[in-house]
Amino acid sequence: MTDLNQFYIDGRWVAPVDGAGTLDVVDPATEQVAGTVALGGPADVDAAVAAARRAFETWSQTSVDERLAVIGAVITEYQKRADDLAAAVTVEMGAPAGLAAAAHVPMGLAHLATAAESLKTFSFAEDRGSSRIVKEPIGVCGFITPWNWPLNQVFCKVAPALATGCTMVLKPSEVAPFSAAIVAEVFDAAGVPAGVFNLVNGDGPGVGTALAAHPDIDMISFTGSTRAGIEVARNAAPSVKRVAQELGGKSPNILLDDASLAANVAAGIGTMMMNSGQSCNAPSRMLVPAGRLDEVTETIKATASAITVGDPNSGVQLGPVVSEPQFDKIQGLIERAVADGATPVVGGPGRPDGLDTGYYVRPTVFTGVTNDMEIARTEVFGPVLVVIAYDDVDEAIAIGNDTEYGLAGYVSGEDLDEVRRIGSRLRAGSITLNSAALDPTAPFGGYKRSGNGREWSDYAFDEFLEVKSMLGFASA
């Protein structure tokens, strides 16, 4: 049992002020309580923000070399705790142990390393005539992060904030708080100055709202659903703080009609199902040539049927989804898709055979889907893929763009020029061509209702900086 009954504020572990009680943290693989987390409230947020405000006076004035030294110390301590972090992710949100060690933990490290490299060459000032244009840290930042890729989402905010001289208050998901507690221990062991990093656990109404609305928070960065992002923006509006959001997605995966189609179908299924489909940029709408739908269906049966699901510590490809509410939501969407006329080529409602305990979902792929169906328009956030047929490339692009979201898009085919051309026409912030690997040096963020602002790499720095013009600087 892991009981998180304190918050990390001003360089110390302290008891909650508000005493809002605790929440059970459930292991989604066993449905058993794995620990508890204390729920904070506005008074705890006040204490954390005050600590961050005090620390900002000195941290904002540190040199690039001083900040690089601190980030380096964090990297060292993070690497020491890699096994603990991976184990925490597996327990709190059900990621298979191999995925937690090979993807979840390395993503946090990648953002730290990328921020350090970017900081070495980033220009915080330029001269234009007699004026100097400077970029200064925005101030105290509030971070609200989700449960699905907990370390990735924490460090794609924390790393650039550290690098640019900001201080911060983090509210991780109350559903998956264990890894964030280890992150706080990492910061403490690394000797990060008191108040630069603060952690307050809690739910959205108790802590998230207080962070977003707090008058001494200069910037709020939120990752989560579009619905919740709208509420964060509303709460932030009266104080006119900067708001950066990385929200939902329903990303198209356009597969071209060529000799690589079968291989690209298999690759698309693998990318979609990873992390039990709980990725905001998952390629959840696969667009395939109508004339080859039978061939596609056979590849789906062979590929998706072979995916292993079960105990995340047993070497399987997929573990459970994160919680009972998430399981129920996914089951409802699958059932309604069947009622709407979609055909489950593999999977369907219910748990996989032999898995009666745990929030396990059958990997499900639907054909017979049109883009106006609920299953094609709603972010499922589970191992559920829809296949939509197209007659020509222009129709595929139109279908791909026919969504309220614009976080990601995927295009695969043998003609690279054609793949590039199609990618350039998709209205989304991150386009993956021919199954290219993730690149932490490239910016990540969305168009439309998928959010605003950019994370990852030096592009994230600008989210944490104010621009000041100093006229007459050269003649002073």
> Mind listing the pLDDT tens digit for each residue in 188-214?
999 999 999 999 999 999 999 999 999
Average pLDDT of the residues of the chain? 97
- Flag whether pLDDT at 147 surpasses 90: yes
In the residue annotation, 156 being an active-site residue is answered as no
User: Would you state the pLDDT for residue 174?
Assistant: 97
pTM, entire model: 0.96
pLDDT tens-digit map of 306-337: 999 999 999 999 999 999 999 999 999 999 99
pLDDT of residue 170: 98
Angle between helix axes 105-121 and 64-80 (nearest 10 degrees) is: 160
Domains of the chain, first to last: 2-247+450-470 (3.40.605.10), 252-439 (3.40.309.10)
Please tell me which residue in 166, 174, 280, 455 is annotated as part of the active site.
280
Interval 182-189 mean pLDDT = 98
- Whether the per-residue pLDDT at 138 is higher than 90: the answer is yes
* Predicted confidence (pLDDT) per residue in 163-172, tens digit: 999 999 999 9
The confidence score (pLDDT) of residue 476 equals 53
Q: How confident is the model at residue 217 (pLDDT cuts 50, 70, 90)?
A: very high
CB 280, CB 148: distance < 8 Å: yes
Q: What is the mean pLDDT of residues 374-393?
A: 98
CA-to-CA separations, 196 to 141, 169, 399, in angstroms, rounded: 10, 8, 46
Q: Quick one: average pLDDT of 402-416? A: 98
Summarize pLDDT for 243-252 with one digit per residue, the tens.
Answer: 999 999 999 9
> HEC profile for the chain?
CEEECCEEECCEEECCCCCCCEEEEEECCCCEEEEEEECCCHHHHHHHHHHHHHHHHHHCCCCHHHHHHHHHHHHHHHHHCHHHHHHHHHHHHCCCHHHHHHHHHHHHHHHHHHHHHHHHHCCCEEEECCEEEEEEECCEEEEECCCCCHHHHHHHHHHHHHHHCCEEEEECCCCCCHHHHHHHHHHHHCCCCCCCEEECCCCHHHHHHHHHHCCCCCEEEEECCHHHHHHHHHHHHHHCCEEEEECCCCCEEEECCCCCHHHHHHHHHHHHHHHHHCCCCCCCEEEEEHHHHHHHHHHHHHHHCCCCECCCCCCCCECCCCCHHHHHHHHHHHHHHHHCCCEEEECCCCCCCCCCCCCCCCCEEEECCCCCCHHHHCCCCCCEEEEEEECCHHHHHHHHHCCCEECEEEEECCCHHHHHHHHHHCCCCEEEECCCCCCCCCCECCEECCEECCECCHHHHHHHEEEEEECCCCCC
- Mean pLDDT within 162-188: 98
Which of 77, 92, 246, 455 is the catalytic position? 246
Other C-beta atoms closer than 10 Å to the C-beta of 110 total 20
pLDDT per residue over 91-107, tens digit each?
Answer: 999 999 999 999 999 99
pLDDT in tens, 48-74: 999 999 999 999 999 999 999 999 999
- Per the annotation, the verdict on 246 as an active-site residue is yes
